[in-house]
Copies of this chain bind each other. A is one copy, B any other.
Amino acid sequence: MVQARVGAEAVVQTLKARGLRVTPQRCAVYANLLRRTDHPTVEQILNDLNRELPVSSKATVYSSLQALRDVGLVREVLLQEGVSRYDAKVEPHHHFLCDRCGAIHDLPWAQFGELSLSVLPQGLRGVAYEVTVRGTCGDCGGMEA
């Protein structure tokens, strides 16, 4: 079986392996996500891409993200109301949400040790988990959001 690799070249093999076409738009979206750590929205990705090479529409960014999610190269992050944000870091990790500026920072998986899902209430079977921390991030002056 084909395992999705990380890194800029991974897109080509991974998309091909799934029978999806390798297009400059998909590569650009993935490259953009790889290069940033701020978990951008579709809007932000589009602006960033069009700054370099004004060849992309919002609908294409959506569809590229969909394709990249399908092959497991990208994940959606639901921490802010109203908008989806995206992340090229697919290994399990936790998130930190800054209450002042809205920034999302990654926290290493090992941050909290391993939590046990073996004893859950009433017939629930857990297969994955994630911790979300809220607070302030110091990077920001507290001016945004």
Contact = CB atoms under 8 A, between A and B. Distances in A.
Interface string A46-65: 00000000000000000000
A79 interface: yes
Nearest to A84: B81
A139 to B, nearest CB: 7
Contacts of A24: none
Contacts of A145: none
A125 interface: yes
A135 B127 contact: yes
Interface of A: 76, 78-81, 84, 96, 98-99, 105, 107-108, 111-112, 115-117, 120-139
Contact of A123 (B120, B131, B132, B138): B138
Contacts of A76: 81
Give the top 8 A-B pairs by smallest Cβ distance, nearest first.
Answer: A123-B138, A126-B135, A126-B133, A129-B133, A127-B135, A125-B135, A128-B134, A112-B115
Contacts of A126: 96, 133-135
A63 to B, nearest CB: 16
A89 B89 CA distance: 33
